Amino acid sequence: MGYQLELRHFNYFLAVAEELHYRKAAEKLCISQPGLSRQIKQMEEILEVKLFVRTKKKVSLTAAGEYLKSEIEFILNHLEVTKKQLRHIRDGNFGEVRIGFLGSAMQEVIPDLLIKLKDKFPGIQTNLEELSNNAQINAIVKDKLDMGFVRTARVPEGLNIQPVYTDTFSVVLPELYPLLTREFRDVGQLAEENFILFAQDYSPLYFDTVMSICEDAGFTPKVSHKSVHAQTIFKLVENNLGIAIIPTSLQYGFQMKVKFIELKNIPQRAVLSVCWKEDNRNPALRHCINLLLNQSR
């Protein structure tokens, strides 16, 4: 009767909603099954809404339960972030920003940002994680990440995206490849080679752009290998397994027996963008974004 909804109910509800099995959920929560049953029942009474359908050995969510699940996930995650921020504030820090990035952002943009952050906002903690374009965007939507460095043109509704670094492309050739830089005119000369590219699902935009570079030069490349790490690509090139086209800045920081020819005369550019959720409540994020966008102009 005069009961009150509590966070405990939320955790119990989520466990059942995930397992769709009272005993298993109770085990996961380290409580007994009847206790769990009663709490869920109580929750339904408090909310005056049926959340689960128990029928013939099967537990399933009602429409309302489905909706509640996503909202509770949102609230509990928000709470976790808040707790973390609280500790940062207590320690005299301003907050934490969780940053996702593609490996290629580590060459220029991220070190720059970190140095400027340390200078202007020494209190802001950073938490870096290397992820694919899609993984970053999903994490940002779910508030698991505050911002991401991606190579993509379109993002879901509710996300903002701004270019922060524009790069030419370069061809990567084995060190002893019989073509001198001064003899190089355009990519068409490499039409017969095998190409090694970043995997399409890792960065669809990159993939399409490289294809368009080749098409502009009048051929369709034979793609022999796909990889997600620059190092792997360079290694393959070094071993004469093919050639590659990559964003120019990626060449720095590797010691490989390969040579680079920058494609200055084509219109395509590799654009690295920063992406964040419009309504992210993390105040430290705003400072980061401002630093990034002002420095690049």
Binding site for its own copies (CB under 8 A): 4-8, 47-50, 62-64, 67-68, 71, 74-75, 78-79, 82-83, 85-87, 89-90, 157-158, 277-279, 281
Least Å distance between CB 213 and DNA? Answer: 57
- Selection from its own copies, DNA, none that 34 binds (CB < 5 to 8 A by kind) is DNA
Q: If DSSP codes are grouped into helix, strand and coil, which group holds residue 235?
A: helix
- What is d(CA 78, CA 286) in angstroms, rounded to the nearest whole number? 17
- Selection from its own copies, DNA, none that 74 binds (CB < 5 to 8 A by kind) is its own copies
Least Å distance between CB 24 and DNA? Answer: 7
- Selection from its own copies, DNA, none that 139 binds (CB < 5 to 8 A by kind) is none
Count Cβ atoms below 10 Å from residue 24 Cβ, excluding itself: 14
Among 187, 170, 195, 136, residue whose Cα is nearest residue 250: 170
Q: Are 174 and 240 in contact (CB under 8 A)?
A: yes
Pairing status of strand 258-263 against strand 124-130: unpaired
- Selection from its own copies, DNA, none that 31 binds (CB < 5 to 8 A by kind) is DNA
Q: Please, which residues have CB within 8 angstroms of residue 41's CB and are 6 or more apart in sequence?
A: none
Span from 27-35, 196-204, 247-255, 264-272 in contact with DNA (CB under 7 A): 27-35
Binding-residue pattern over the window 53 to 82 for DNA, x denoting contact by CB under 7 A: -x-xx-x-----------------------
- What is d(CA 291, CA 235) in angstroms, rounded to the nearest whole number? 36
Span from 49-57, 90-98, 146-154, 249-257 in contact with DNA (CB under 7 A): 49-57
- Bridge partners, 161 (sequence order): 275
- What is d(CA 287, CA 284) in angstroms, rounded to the nearest whole number? 5
Judged by CB under 7 A, the residue of 10, 13, 17, 40 near DNA is 40
Question: Closest CB to DNA among 12 and 101?
Answer: 12
Q: Calculate the dihedral angle through the C-alpha atoms of 166, 171, 172, 177, rounding to the nearest 10 degrees.
A: -160
Task: Rule CB under 7 A: say whether 17 interacts with DNA.
Answer: no
Applying CB under 7 A, the residues found at the interface with DNA are 1-3, 8, 21-24, 30-35, 37-42, 54, 56-57, 59
